[in-house]
Amino acid sequence: MCHDDDSRPPSPPSVGEVAHEGLLTLTGSDGNTFAAYEAVPAAPHGRNVVILPDVRGLHPYYEALAVRFAEAGFHAVAFDYFGRTQGAAQRPDGFDWQAEIPTLTPEGVQSDVAAAAAYVNGLNAGPTFTVGFCFGGSHSWRLSASDLDLAGVMGFYGRPPMVEDVEDRFSTPLLLLVGGADAATPVEDFAALDARLTERGVDHEMYVYDGAPHSFFDRAFAEWKDACADAWQRMLAFTERLS
């Protein structure tokens, strides 16, 4: 998993007020009902973001991240992966996410993203982006090959092997934020992916944070404060460029 239970995301460079935040239940086109968390900015800039969590699904880190994005002016929704097997109710402590991950499919994740994107677009009819972490980072990048109406797809700590089967169909711009010392994925895998995307002319940006570990985007890591600040600036610039 990406973050400790008490981990929380760093704040954006400029922190605005949040008008509303809270849990909600969404339903996908395949009938799946799942939990999500929304955060609405008091001073929106017109952009939306759908957050794809790590393997634990709607962990408090990602609820807090939705709030951080709202503080940065985004209408934000983070969603849970496990509605098909666990329902939309809050899960108890000790939830066995390891047993649930094999039940997830790219098609199911894409259906849930589509429902979350439709919901956030109902709040704000602006360009919508995805951002994912680890497992969610890979699935966010995979959406570059989807037919969803996304302006861009962003991800931290994903795994290039998880996108290989759709990589040749990438069309939506991608942002890849990579820990240079991520033990889960060799940085060489990202360098090879970057080269392939460049050769194909795919609109993408990739930034490697030298020495940074998996899960560096955490306010508790004082030594990675500058990397966190830079990652925020990269996301803001990427989404502004494509809006």
| Distance linking the first and last C-alpha atoms of the chain | 32
Which CATH number is 18-241 given? Answer: 3.40.50.1820
pLDDT computed for residue 207 by the predictor: 98
Strands 33-41 and 18-27: what pairing?
Answer: antiparallel
pLDDT computed for residue 92 by the predictor: 67
Contact (Cβ atoms closer than 8 angstroms) between residue 135 and residue 101: yes
Q: What does the domain layout of the chain look like in residue ranges?
A: 18-241
Q: In whole angstroms, give the CA distance from residue 156 to residue 154.
A: 7
Q: In whole angstroms, give the CA distance from residue 206 to residue 212.
A: 15
Contacts of 147 (CB under 8 A, 6+ apart): none
pLDDT computed for residue 2 by the predictor: 67
| pTM of the shown model | 0.96
pLDDT computed for residue 3 by the predictor: 59
The tens place of each residue's pLDDT in the chain, 243 residues long, gives: 565 666 789 999 999 999 999 999 999 999 999 999 999 999 999 999 999 999 989 989 999 999 999 999 999 999 999 999 888 977 766 788 889 899 999 999 999 999 999 999 999 999 999 999 999 999 999 999 999 999 999 999 999 999 999 999 999 999 999 999 998 889 999 999 999 999 999 999 999 999 999 889 997 778 899 999 999 999 999 999 999
Q: Residues for the chain: how many in total?
A: 243
pLDDT computed for residue 151 by the predictor: 98
Q: In whole angstroms, give the CA distance from residue 78 to residue 24.
A: 10
pLDDT computed for residue 5 by the predictor: 66
pLDDT computed for residue 8 by the predictor: 85
The C-alpha angle 128, 132, 133, rounded to 5 degrees, equals 160
Q: In whole angstroms, give the CA distance from residue 214 to residue 156.
A: 9
Q: In whole angstroms, give the CA distance from residue 236 to residue 157.
A: 18
Contacts of 107 (CB under 8 A, 6+ apart): none
Residue 131 pairs in a beta bridge with 51, 154
> Three-class SS string for 7-68?
CCCCCCCCCCCEEEEEEEEEECCCCCEEEEEEEEECCCCCCEEEEECCCCCCCHHHHHHHHH
Q: In whole angstroms, give the CA distance from residue 5 to residue 7.
A: 6
